[in-house]
Structure 1
Amino acid sequence: MANLTALLKVPEVECVALCDIDENILNQRKADLVKLNIKPKLYGDYRRLLADKNVDIVVVATPDHWHCLQLIDACAAEKDVFCEKPVANSIYEAQLMNKAVERYGKVVQVAQWQRSQQHFRDAIAFVHSGKLGKVSSTKAWMYRGGSKALPVVSNTPVPVGVNYDMWLGPAKKHPFNKNRFHYEFRWFWDYAGGLMTDWGVHLIDMVLMGMKAGTPKSVMATGGKYVFPSDARETPDIQTALYDFGNFQMTWEHNMATGVGLYGMQHGIAFIGENGTLLLNRQGWEVKPEKDKLEALPWSKSVDSGLDKHAANFIDVVKSRKMNDLNCPFEAGAKVAIASHFGNVALRAGEKIYWDEAKSKFNVEKATRLVKPVYHNGWKLPIV
C-alpha cells in the first residue's frame, strides 16, 4: 500500500486493479481506495490481472519467494514493473530475472528507494569524490531493537477468504501457521532471508553503489538464534558476515536484541577512508575526519521522501523509455540481492565460501546447493 500511495501521487497514475490471495486484505484495500473515489477491479490470481489490457504497470509486493515468477510473467505480458526488494529469494532466481528483464525490454524499477533520496545521493557523491582517500573498509548494520520473541504456535485451519495454496505457490507444502504468513514470513527460509535480505538489501546497496563494487570474491559468516533461541523463527537473530571484494572489505551486522548499533546509530553505512569516515543512514549523513586530513561535515538531515521520488522516477521512465534514467534498474537490485544471499549461504553452509563467476557456483558443495531453488506444487522455474 505504501508503494501504491506513492505512485498515486503522480497525476498520470490510476489504480485500475488490485490482486491478493487474502480477500480480507483485498476488501480492506478496496475500501481504502473507494474513500479516494478509486474503484479498482479485484483479482485473486495475478495471472488474471496480467491478462487485463487496462493494466500498464504492476507493483510486485508479494513475499520474496513469488517475485521471480510474477516479475517474469509481468514482463512477458508486456507490463512495466515496480518490484519490491529483495528481487528474489535465491541467487539463481535473481540471475534468471535479470535475463528476462534484458530479453523483454520492459521498464523495471526495484524498490530500493534510498537511491532516489537526496541525502543518500549527496553522501554517495562525496564517497565518489575521493575526499575520503582510499576506502578499504566499509560497514553496514541493522540493530533492530524492540524485537520480541515470535511464540511457537500450532498449525490451524486456513482462515476464511485465504487461498493458501496460491500463497504457497512454489514453496514447500506446509500446514497453515500464522507465524509463516503475513509479515512474519520474513523469518522462514522457504519464503525469505531474514534481516539480511530485508534490511540488508537496502543498506548493502549503498556500499555497492559507493564503492562501484561487483560480486564479492568470498564471504564468511557467523550467527544464530542467540536472542530468542526457542522462538518460531528460522533465520538468525544475530548475524555477522565479512565480505572480500578484492580491493576492500565489508562487514554486515544485525542484532534483534538492541537498538544501539555501531557509532550509536541503530542502522547505517560506514565508509572508512584514509582521511575520514562517512556515516550514513535514513536520517542523514556526516563526515568524521582523521586528524588534520579532512574538514568535518556536520550531520545533514534528510528532507525528502525517497519512496515518493522513486515512484516518480519510475513513471518518468515509463513515459520516456530512457532506461538509463532509472534510479534503481533491475541489474542493481539483482546485484545486491545476490550479495545478501551470499551472506546467508555462508552462514548456512558453515564455511568460508568462494564464488566462481564463470561456473556460477561456490567452492563448497553445501553452499552451491543453496544457489538454485526447487519449485513445488506444480510450479516450474521460468525458462528465459
Structure 2
Amino acid sequence: MDLFNINRRRFLQGATASLALSTFGAYGMDVMHQGKTWRVGLIGTGWYGKSDLFRLIQVAPVEVVALCDVDKNMLNAAGKLVSQRQKSGKTPKLYGDYRKMLSENEMDIVLIGTPDHWHALQTIDAVKAGAHVYVQKPISVDVMEGEAMVAAARKYKKVVQVGTQRKSTPHLIDAKKNIVDAGLLGNIKHVEMCCYFHMRANGNPAVQAVPDFLDYNLWTGPAPLRPYDGLPHIRWWRTFKEYGNGIMGDMCIHMFDTVRWMLQLGWPKRISSQGGIYVQKDGKSNISDTQSAVFEYPELNCVWQHRTWGTPNNPDYPWSFTLYGDKGTLWASTMQCDFIPMDKEGKKIHKDVVYEKEKYPEDLTEERIELNAAPATRLHMLDFLAAIEKNGRPVADIEEGHISTASCLMANISMELGRPVVYDPQKREIVGDREATAMLARKYRSPWVHPDPKKV
C-alpha cells in the first residue's frame, strides 16, 4: 500500500477526516512519491525540533541521517531517541556546527528548530546546500532576513514550509470551508486576536560559568552576546529581544497567519502598536508584558492584544482569534471553534480539536508533546512533501510566513517608535520613515554577515 493510502486510512478515523482529505487533495496529496525514502537532517534538537521530526517520521519513510545542536547533552539524547523512533534503528551522525552538517551530508529535507535568531542563516544555507526546508515560526528576527529567505527559496527552487500548522489543523480547515467560505459570517469587517498566557519568563538568575557541554558562542551566533546566566533552552531565550520578538513574534504570528489564510489577506496597508512592560518589572525580561496592535486592511482591522498577567477576556479562548461578520461571529483557537449566528433561530456550530491518540500511541509517551498540535503537524508535513513532489508551493509557503512574521516584527517597531508604519514590499522600505526603515535589519555580531535579499 502506498504512503498516501496508508495515511488516508488512518485519518479517516478522525472526526473531520473527509473534509481534511478533500483539502489535501487540493494540495496534491495524491501525487506522493511511492517507495522514496527521504534523507533528513535536523538543526536544533530541543523540544520542538524533535517534535517536528517525530511527526515527520510518523507519516513518511525517512532516514534521519544527521542531527545538529550546540548542546552536547541535548544532541546525544536526541540521537538515542531518533534511533528508537526511525525504522532503520540507526543513530544519526551528530554535529555541533550546522555548517559542517550541511557540507558533509546530502539531504532531501532539513528541519530547523533553533531559536528565532538562527532561522534565516540556517534556512538560506540549507537551500543553498540543496535541501528543502521546514522552518519554525517566526521565520526571522528582522524583516530583511525574511526577504532574503524568500529570495533564496525562489533562487534555488526549493520548497520552504513554515511551522504555522494552524493551516493544517482539522477543525480550522473545517471552519474555513463550512463557515467562512460558506458565507455564514456574511461581511467580515472586524477581527480580534489575543494571547493571555502567562508565558513571559522572568527572573534574575546570576551570571555563571558556561558549562563545558554548551557552545554558548555558537548558540548566540549573530545575536548580541549576553552574559551567560543559565541554559537558554525552552522559555528563557524567548524573554529577550536579542533573540526574538516577544509574545508578538511568538504567538501573534500564529493567529494573524491563520486569519490571513482564512480571509485571503496579503500585506497590511498600515500597522500600529502600543505597549511595554507595565506590570512584570522585577526580572531581566525585556519583552513587553502588555501590547496591542492593529493591522489595517481596507474596511477591516485585525486587532491584537496580549497580556502575560491577569485573566483572559474569555476563559474558553485565551489564545485565539475572533471573526466578526454582519451575520455571525466565529471564535477559534487551537482547541476548538464556535460559530454564533446573529439570527436567534440560526444554528450554532461547535468543532473540537482532533486527537489521534489511538492511531499514534507513541504520542502518549513522548515528553512535552502537544497532543492537540500533533495531528496538525503531521498533516503539515504531508503537505510539505506533496509540494516537493509537485514542485509547487506548500500551504505555509515561506512568502506567506514572511508576510505574517514581518507584520508582527513591524508592530514591535511601531511600538518602539510610537508611530504607525507602512511597508512597501517592492522597495523593501517603510514609507517616508528612514528611522523605521533602518530598523528592518538588525546589526549582526561579527563575524556573522546579515543576508542580503539581492545577493543570496
Q: Same fold (TM over 0.5)?
A: yes
Match of 1:7 among 56, 75, 78: 56
Q: Distance in 2 between matches of 1:348 and 1:361?
A: 17
* 1:296 maps to amino acid: K
Residues 135-214 of structure 1: pairs in structure 2 closer than 5 A:
135-145=188-198, 147=199, 150-178=202-230, 180=232, 182-214=234-266
Q: Tell me the residue number matched to 2:376.
A: 306
Q: Distance in 2 between matches of 1:346 and 1:263?
A: 29
Q: Distance in 1 between matches of 2:124 and 2:243?
A: 18
Match of 1:337 among 379, 396, 405: 405
Match of 1:378 among 447, 450, 453: 447
Shift of 1:264: 4.2
Q: Distance in 2 between matches of 1:245 and 1:225?
A: 28
Q: Tell me the residue number matched to 1:129.
A: 182
Q: Distance in 1 between matches of 2:201 and 2:150?
A: 36
* 2:203 maps to amino acid: P
* 1:379 maps to amino acid: W
Shift of 1:24: 1.2
Q: Tell me the residue number matched to 2:372.
A: none
Shift of 1:129: 2.8
Counterpart check, 1:90 vs 2:138: no
| Unaligned runs of at least 5 residues, structure 1 | none
* 2:190 maps to amino acid: S
Counterpart check, 1:34 vs 2:83: yes
Q: Distance in 2 between matches of 1:315 and 1:121?
A: 19
SS in 2 for 1:204: helix
CA contact (8 A) 2:241 2:287 kept: yes
Residues 232-271 of structure 1: pairs in structure 2 closer than 5 A:
232-262=284-314, 264-271=316-323
Q: Tell me the residue number matched to 1:58.
A: 110
Shift of 1:189: 1.4
* 2:418 maps to amino acid: G
Residues 111-126 of structure 1: pairs in structure 2 closer than 5 A:
111-125=163-177, 126=179
| Stretch moving more, 153-162 or 91-100 | 153-162
Q: Tell me the residue number matched to 1:361.
A: 429
Q: Tell me the residue number matched to 1:321.
A: 390
* 1:321 maps to amino acid: K
CA contact (8 A) 2:268 2:297 kept: yes
Q: Tell me the residue number matched to 2:370.
A: none
Shift of 1:232: 1.3
| Stretch moving more, 59-68 or 211-220 | 211-220
Q: Distance in 2 between matches of 1:261 and 1:92?
A: 35
* 2:55 maps to amino acid: A
CA contact (8 A) 2:201 2:239 kept: no
* 1:346 maps to amino acid: S
* 2:321 maps to amino acid: I
CA contact (8 A) 2:201 2:235 kept: no
* 1:158 maps to amino acid: V
CA deviation vs aligned residue, 1:24-49 (integer Å, no higher than 9, x gap) = 11011122233343311100110111
Identity percentage of aligned residues: 29
CA deviation vs aligned residue, 1:216-240 (integer Å, no higher than 9, x gap) = 1222211111231122111101111
TM-score by length of 2: 0.79
CA deviation vs aligned residue, 1:54-102 (integer Å, no higher than 9, x gap) = 4221111111111111101100000111111111111111111111111
Q: Distance in 2 between matches of 1:87 and 1:139?
A: 23
CA deviation vs aligned residue, 1:332-368 (integer Å, no higher than 9, x gap) = 1111101111211111112222334443222444422
SS in 1 for 2:122: helix
Q: Distance in 1 between matches of 2:353 and 2:233?
A: 33
* 1:334 maps to amino acid: H
* 1:337 maps to amino acid: T
Q: CA RMSD in A?
A: 1.9
What count of residue pairs does the alignment treat as equivalent?
Answer: 380
CA contact (8 A) 2:273 2:291 kept: yes
Q: Distance in 1 between matches of 2:251 and 2:188?
A: 23
